[in-house]
Chain A
Amino acid sequence: MADLDNKDQTEMDPADMEDVEEVEEEETGEDNSKARQLTMQMMQNPQILAALQERLDGLVGSPSGYMESLPKVVKRRVNALKNLQVKCAHIEAKFYEEVHELERKYAALYQPLFDKRSDIVRAAYEPTDEECEWKQDEEEELTVSKQEEMKEKAKVEEEKKDEEKEDPKGIPEFWLTVFKNVDLLSEMLQEHDEPILKHLQDIKVKFSDAGQPMSFTLEFHFEPNDFFTQTVLTKTYKMRSEPDESDPFSFDGPEIMGCTGCTIDWSKGKNVTLKTIKKKQKHKGRGTVRTVTKTVPNDSFFNFFSPPEVPETGELDEDSEAVLAADFEIGHFIRERIVPRAVLYFTGEAIEDDDDDYDEEGEEADDEEGEEEADEENDPDYEPKV
C-alpha cells in the first residue's frame, strides 16, 4: 500500500492533483466527509485513477496522455483498431481514384457545354433567340414594363443597323471580367496584364488519364496577340492520392502537392513579368557616373506560369511556401468553381454565393445558443388549475 502511495504521487503532477480535487467536488458535492473518504479511496485505486485521467483528458481537449493511461490489454486492442484504420485509409485511396474516374467521365459530358460557351464568347457562334430565352431578374422586370420593352426592342433593332460597325462580337472581355470580379484572381491582376487578358478566350481543365499519377491541367487559350506567340498557356497540378506511409491518418483525399507552369514565348519588349530599372552608379575611384540598366522581376498574373519548384529533398523557404500554398488554392478554385460556373462569376451571382458560404461558416462557429427550454422550475407563476 505504501509503495502504491509513493507511485501515485510521482505519477500525478501537482497540477493533476489540483484538478483531481476539483473534479471530485463536482461529482459528490453533497456530503463533505464522504467526499474526503471517497478521495482517499480513489487515490489508491489505479483503475479509478485511470478513469480520472480519462476524465481529465476529456476536460483538456487534446487527450495526449490518454492512451498511456489505458490498461495494456485495452491499449492492445486500440492498436488493432488502428491497424484496421490503416486498411480503411487504403480503401479510401481507391475510392478517390474511382471518384477521379467519375470526374473524368463527367468532364467529357460537360465539355460540349463548355465548347459552346467558348464559341459564344469568342463570337464563333451566335445563339438563336430560343437559346437566349431567360427569365429576367425580378428587378429588371420591375423596372422595365412591357411597353418599354417593346419600345426598346424596336430601338435596338434600329441601333443594330446604325451600329453595325461597332457591333460587339461575342462577349468581349468575358474572362477578364471574371478575373476582375473574383478577389482571389483580381489580386493577381496588374494593370499591364489587362490588355493581354482581353485575348483570353477560354480556360479548360484536363484530367490525367487512368493509370497515370493523378493530376489536372489548366489550359489558358488565347487568340493570336502581339504579346506572346503561344495560343495555350498551361499549368499542371500534381496530386498525392494515397496515404503517406509514415502518417496514414492524415490522408483526407487527394491533395495538390506540386505544380509546373510553362515557358511563355514573349514577343520582344512585351514580357510583363520583367521590368527594367535604371540605376546610377558612381565609380568610387574616378568619380564618374554611369547609368546601368537592370532587369528585375515584375508583379504580374503571368508569374502564375512560373511557380516556385518543390525540391525533391529539403524544404522551401517560408515565402515560397506561402506563394505555393496560395497558388494551389487558386488552381483548385479555378478548376472547381471558375471553369464550371464562369458565367455566374461574369454576372457576379456566384460571388454572392461564395460570400454566403463564408458568412454561414462564421455563424456556425458561434457557440450554440443556450438552452432554449424555459426553466419552468423557477417559474413562480403557479396557477391553480381548479
Chain B
Amino acid sequence: MDKKNEKSEAKGKGGNKPPQSDKPSQSDKPEGFLQVERIPNFNLLPKSIKRRVYALKRLQLQSANIEAKFYEEVHELERKYAGLYQPMFDKRREIVTGAVEPTDEECEWQSDKEEDELAADLQKKAALEEKQADSASAVDPKGIPDFWLTIFKHVDMLGEMLQEHDEPILKHLQDITVKFSEPGQPMSFTLEFHFEPNSFFSNSVLTKVYKMKSEPDAEDPFSFEGPEIVDCEGCKIDWQKGKDVTVKIVKKKQKHKGRGTIRTVSKEIPQDSFFNFFSPVKSSPDGMDEDLDFTLAADFETGHFFRERVIPRAVLYFTGEALEDDDSFEEEDLEEGEEEDLDEEGEEEDEGDIDPTKDPPPAECKQQ
C-alpha cells in the first residue's frame, strides 16, 4: 500500500498512452543520460538479483541491435512501396498541372452525389458562376490551380511558414515528391519541390534532404526508438535579380560624424519566408543553443510531416478532410465544436495498432 502511494506521487503521467513515437523531433536526451534505477528499492536488492538484472540488460542491448535491423527492413519495405505509390502520384501531378484530363469514369465520386443533393443551391450557383466565368473571362482553369498553395494554406504547420510574398511563387509549385536513400547508403529521405518555369528563380526543383540515425547510440542504447531525423540539408536557390524573398532591403541614413554629410545606405537583411526552409540551420555535434535546437526540431517535424502525411494524402488536405484527423495530433487551441470530438479521436489513435504508431507507417521515422 505504502509503496503504491510512494510511486504515484513520484510519477507524473507515466505510461498513460502508447508513446507517439512517430513524432519527429531532435532527441532531447541529455548527454550521458543517467540510467538511474527508479524503483524505490532497486539499489537495496540483493547483489545476486542485481546481477541477474544486469544480465537482462545485456539481453536488452542485443534486442536493441536486432531492432535496428528491423527498422532497416521496414525502410526497404517503404522504398518498395514508394515505387508502388509513384504511378498514382505521377497521375496526380498530371491532373493537377492539367497535362492530362481525367475521364468521366475516373471522376465519379459516390458521396459527392449525396452532398450535391443536399447542397443543390450551391451547386446551381457554382454552375452559374462557371458560366459567368466562362463568358466573362473565357479562362478555363487548367488542372487544379493553386493545388499545393491551397494545401499550404489549409495546414497550420505549413501556413505558419507562409508569407504573403511567398504565395505568387508557390502558385508555380507543381508537385512535391519523396525520394528514399538506396540500400547500403546511410538512411535518409529527400523532399523535392517541383516548380514550373517562373520569374523568381531558375531552378526547376528545390530539394531538402533529411538524414537519419538508424542505430542505437552506443552510449544510450535504450533510448533507441527507431530511425530519427538528426540533420538536414537544403539547396541553393538561384533567385532572379530582385526576386529573392528571403531577404529585404532596408535603407539607412547615416550621418558622418566629422563632415556632417548624410548618406543613404542600403542593407540586405534576412526576411521571413517559406523559402528559408531550404537554408536550414546546421546541427552541430557539440550541441547548440536552445533556440536553434528548437528551430531545427520544428524543421524536422515539418519534413516528417511532408513525407508522412502531406505527400501521400495531398488531396485530402486540399479538400480539408484530412485536417480533422490531424487535429488530434495538433495540440493547439481547437475550435469550440471540435473539443468534444478530440476524446474520441484520441481514443481511436490509442486503439490503433500502429506497428509502432498510428501516424504513419511503422516506425519508419520515429521521432520522439
Contact = CB atoms under 8 A, between A and B. Distances in A.
Contacts of B60: 341, 343-344
A104 to B, nearest CB: 11
A78 B98 CA distance: 12
Interface in A346-363: 346-358, 360-362
A100 to B, nearest CB: 7
Interface string B145-161: 11000100110100110
A192 interface: no
A181 B109 contact: no
B132 A73 contact: no
Contact of B254 (A70, A335, A384): A384
Nearest to B253: A382
A64 B91 CA distance: 26
Interface stretch (A13-21, A169-177, A283-291): A169-177
B295 A47 contact: no
A72 interface: yes
B23 interface: yes
B234 interface: no
Contact of B102 (A72, A76, A87, A364): A76
Contacts of A132: 51-52, 54-55, 58
Contact of A361 (B23, B101, B153): B23
Contacts of A139: 34, 36
A183 B102 CA distance: 54
B14 A68 contact: no
A305 interface: no
A102 B353 contact: no
Is the contact region of chain A dominated by helix, strand, or loop, or is it mixed?
helix
B319 interface: yes
Interface in A85-102: 85, 87-88, 91-92, 95-96, 98-100, 102
Contact of B355 (A46, A68, A181, A254): A254
B66 A76 contact: no
A292 interface: no
A372 interface: yes
Nearest to B356: A336
Interface residues on A, range: 35 or more
Interface in B7-40: 7-8, 11-21, 23, 25, 28-29, 32, 34-39
A78 B107 CA distance: 8
B368 to A, nearest CB: 5
B322 interface: yes
Given A88-B88, A183-B15, A376-B250, A253 B352 contact: yes
A382 B59 contact: no
A360 B129 contact: no
A7 B130 contact: no
A385 B265 CA distance: 10
B289 to A, nearest CB: 11
Interface string A126-159: 1100011110011110000000000010001000
B14 A113 contact: no
B193 to A, nearest CB: 19
A11 interface: yes
B286 interface: no
Interface in B69-119: 70, 73-74, 77-78, 81, 84-85, 88, 91-92, 95-96, 101-102, 106-109, 112, 115, 119
Is the contact region of chain B dominated by helix, strand, or loop, or is it mixed?
helix
A133 B54 contact: yes
Interface in B112-146: 112, 115, 119, 122-123, 125-130, 132-133, 136-137, 139-141, 143-146
Interface string A173-209: 0000100111111100001000000000000000000
A23 interface: no
B15 to A, nearest CB: 4
Given A127-B55, A340-B67, A377-B250, 4 more contacts: A64-B320, A95-B361, A168-B46, A256-B352
19 contacts: A45-B136, A47-B129, A47-B136, A63-B320, A77-B102, A77-B107, A113-B59, A134-B54, A171-B49, A255-B352, A336-B18, A343-B56, A347-B38, A349-B35, A349-B37, A364-B23, A368-B160, A376-B250, A386-B256
The 8 residue pairs across chains A and B that have the minimum distance between CB atoms: A348-B38, A183-B14, A365-B331, A46-B129, A80-B102, A134-B54, A127-B55, A81-B315
Interface of A: 4, 7, 11, 45-47, 49-50, 54, 57-58, 61-85, 87-88, 91-92, 95-96, 98-100, 102-103, 106, 109-110, 113, 116-117, 120-121, 126-127, 131-134, 137-140, 152, 156, 160, 167-168, 170-172, 177, 180-186, 191, 216, 237, 239, 249-250, 252-257, 325, 328-329, 332-333, 335-337, 340-344, 346-358, 360-362, 364-365, 367-369, 371-373, 376-377, 382-386
Interface of B: 1, 3-4, 7-8, 11-21, 23, 25, 28-29, 32, 34-39, 42-43, 46-49, 51-60, 62-63, 66-67, 70, 73-74, 77-78, 81, 84-85, 88, 91-92, 95-96, 101-102, 106-109, 112, 115, 119, 122-123, 125-130, 132-133, 136-137, 139-141, 143-146, 150, 153-154, 156, 159-160, 222-223, 250, 252-257, 265, 267, 269-270, 272, 291, 294-295, 297-298, 301, 312-316, 318-325, 330-332, 335, 347-348, 350-356, 358-362, 368
